[in-house]
Amino acid sequence: SKIFKSLKVSKDGTLPVFEFSDVFNYITGEPILYQKNIQDLFKVNLLDFDIP
């Protein structure tokens, strides 16, 4: 998916661990986030994704 392809890769080559619900909640404006800096884990603006 586009979301997984846009994750920032760490210097050691690993992908960050995150809850997909945080991505959905961030995009829809829900205040409940486990990872408060969810946007920082991605190379693109999450709000640009069109998730129904």
Domain residue ranges of the chain, discontinuous segments joined by +: 2-48
Q: What is the pLDDT of residue 46?
A: 93
pTM of the model: 0.81
Check residue 29 and give left, alpha or beta (phi > 0: left; psi -120 to 50: alpha). left
DSSP character string of 18-44: --HHHHHHHHHT-S--SSTTGGGGBSS
* Structural tokens at position 22: 């945080």
Closest CA to 8 of 38, 36, 49: 38
10-residue mean pLDDT series, the chain (52 residues): 91 94 92 92 92 68
Q: What is the pLDDT of residue 52?
A: 65
